[in-house]
Amino acid sequence: MKHTDLLPHLFRTEYRKIASVLCKNFGIDHIEAAEDIASETFLAAYENWTYKGIPDYPTAWLYAVAKNKAKNYLNREKLFSEKIKAHVLANGADRVKEDVEWSAENITDSQLQMLFAICRPSIPVDAQIGLALRILCGFGIEEIANAFLTNKETINKRLFRAKQKLRQENVKIRFPDADEVDKRLDTVMTTLYLLFNEGYYSESNDEVLREELCLEAMRLVLMLIENHKTNRPFINALMALMCFHASRFPARKNQMGELILYDNQDVSLWNQELIAKGVYYLHLASVGNSLSRYHLEAGIAYWHTQKPDSAVKWKNILKLYDHLLEIADMPIAALNRILALSKVSGKEAAIVQAESLKLEANPYYHRLLGELYIDVDLKKARSNLEKALDYARTAKDKQIIAQRILSVEKEG
């Protein structure tokens, strides 16, 4: 394997580990120093491996270089020794570790502790996701800017403000106390849920599906499951939900990158191994007496992986949506419930309930009505699809809706 092929993979898997461990060592005040050293480590790898070839143990090589760079940073920074070190100690750190520990346990703990540090209610959700993508997923600033359909300057400012907030609140990179874990997990789970959704239902990028965002979200959820301090039934439920959705990735878009609607997907492309994993995590989520939105959404996603398009399937989906809407006010869930209702009770009944939602500025609302009115009233179908086109947020959505309008006109 060439170093130009290996390094991008290692950057995605190891950057976050190096940055998290170093930030834990230095303290949140020096998060930029941790990021810089992590980046410099990979630059050194590129320069060294280009001429000397890939070392026998490339990951260990990266850790050794990062460790040496961290030592050099501490040694050459007189300011750190005389002022910053005292400041870190004064603000609650047990000690400033000048020797970086690269044990598997410390690497995993550092990433989870960083996740809890980032996911705070005082930081805007988009900034939480941005920091998670940057530090814990190894995304570059340009990649994050593309994900949010904005520019690098905006992302840099957003991340700078978030880091300033972490400093102002004197955030410690450590696990919350036992009685605080569940409370803090709510925010962490929301961030990871939104990160997955940004990949699965991308509204900020002209791609139907951004699998790398979904897979990073799944990796972070799995880390929570594998740690006994954070493993909870609702986290297993979220993992099940992600597995069920991910199982249909190969069938959700065609070779041109265009969305394939659920009813038109090739079920033979669904990943049965991921479906089985989803069932496994949903079983783990069934312990205890609490029922979260993630449990219900996972149940809905499970039934969507079941091939027979039967009344039993859609009745179960409809029942789960009814329960979900009792505990969470989610417009997208209300719209999806209407689709399930149309399968159970017919399009006319679904239209009545859909129009009662009055989500006039929502493109999915008009797109759903457009689909429901086909075979009922082609004029209204076309009118609603045209409204959906006006409200569509991405070029891909506009293209898909425009094609649907043409097909409706042909039918008329």
Using alpha carbons only, how large is the chain's radius of gyration in Å? 24
Residue 177 in domain = yes
- How far apart CA 146 and CA 285 sit, in angstroms, is 34
Give residue 202's pLDDT band: very low, low, confident or very high (50, 70, 90). low
pLDDT at 67 over 60: yes
Of 200-209, 254-263, 287-296, 375-384, the range with the lowest mean pLDDT is: 200-209
Q: Taking residues 286-301, what's their average pLDDT?
A: 94
The predicted structure's pLDDT at residue 84: 58
pLDDT for residue 50 is more than 60:
yes
CA distances from 184 to 140, 230, 281 (A): 27, 10, 22
Are residues 151 and 139 part of one domain?
A: yes
Instruction: Determine how many CB atoms are found less than 10 A away from the CB of residue 238.
Output: 28
Alpha-carbon span 269 to 249, nearest angstrom: 9
The verdict on 116 and 142 lying in the same domain is: yes
Query: How large is the average pLDDT for residues 107-131?
Result: 89
93 or 294: which carries more pLDDT confidence?
294
pLDDT at 406 over 80: yes
> What is the pLDDT, as a whole number, of residue 53?
92
Q: Is residue 316 part of a domain?
A: no
* 66: pLDDT strictly greater than 90: yes
Residue ending a domain, among 188, 211, 230, is 230
pLDDT of residue 157: 94
Task: Look over the chain and give the mean of its residue pLDDT values, rounded to a whole number.
Answer: 87
Is the confidence at residue 264, as pLDDT, over 80? Answer: yes
| Dihedral over alpha carbons 24, 26, 30, 35 (to 10 degrees) | -60
User: Quick check: is 282 in a domain?
Assistant: no
Of 206, 230, 254, at which residue does a domain stop?
230
Residue 385: partners with Cβ closer than 8 Å, 6 or more residues away: 366, 367, 370, 401, 404, 405, 408
- The structure tokens listed for 213 are 């965002």
Q: Are residues 225 and 184 in the same domain?
A: yes
Residue type, 355: E
Residue 30: domain span: 1-102
Question: Whole-angstrom Cα distance, residue 381 to residue 374?
Answer: 6
Burial 10-29 (b: 16+ CB within 10 A, else e): bbeebbbbbbbbbbbbbbbb
The string of DSSP codes covering 342-406 is HHHH-HHHHHHHHHHH--TT-HHHHHHHHHHHTTT-HHHHHHHHHHHHHH--SHHHHHHHHHHHH
In a domain, 411, yes or no: no
**Measured CA distances, 143 to 12, 156, 205, 249 (Å):** 12, 12, 11, 21
**pLDDT > 80? residue 257:** no
Q: What is the pLDDT of residue 309?
A: 75
Number of domains in the chain: 2
**Residue 196: pLDDT over 70:** yes
Residues 87 and 6 in one domain: yes
Angle between helices 178-200 and 233-246 (to 10 degrees): 10
Alpha-carbon separation of residue 194 from 97, 201, 217, 237, 284 (angstroms): 35, 10, 9, 15, 22
* Contact status, residue 384 vs residue 367, Cβ threshold 8 Å: yes
User: Exposed/middle/buried for 356, CB within 10 Å: 0-12, 13-18, 19+?
Assistant: exposed
Asked if 260 contacts 249 with a C-beta cutoff of 8 angstroms, the reply is no
Confidence grade of residue 223 (pLDDT, cut at 50, 70, 90):
very high
- What's the pLDDT at 343? 92
Tokens, residue 169: 């609140």
Instruction: Say whether both 81 and 140 belong to one domain.
Output: no
For residues 329-356, average pLDDT = 93
Confidence band for 120, pLDDT divided at 50, 70 and 90: confident
**Cα(234)–Cα(185) distance, integer angstroms:** 10
Q: Are residues 84 and 147 in the same domain?
A: no
Average pLDDT over residues 53-63: 94
Give CA–CA dist 271/273, Å, rounded.
6
| Predicted confidence (pLDDT) at residue 255 exceeds the cutoff of 80 | no
- Max avg pLDDT among 71-85, 216-230, 248-262: 216-230
Does residue 141 share a domain with residue 184?
yes
Asked if 135 contacts 169 with a C-beta cutoff of 8 angstroms, the reply is no
Same domain, 14 and 85: yes
| 214 and 147 part of one domain | yes
Q: Are residues 159 and 217 in the same domain?
A: yes
The residue type of 37 is I
| Per-residue pLDDT reduced to its tens digit, 154-167 | 999 999 999 999 99
214 occurs within a structural domain: yes
pTM for the predicted model, two decimal places? 0.82
Residue 208 has pLDDT above 60, yes or no: no
Mean pLDDT throughout 250-277?
A: 86
Tell me the per-residue pLDDT of 5-31, one tens digit each, with 9 for 90 and over.
899 889 888 999 999 999 998 888 889
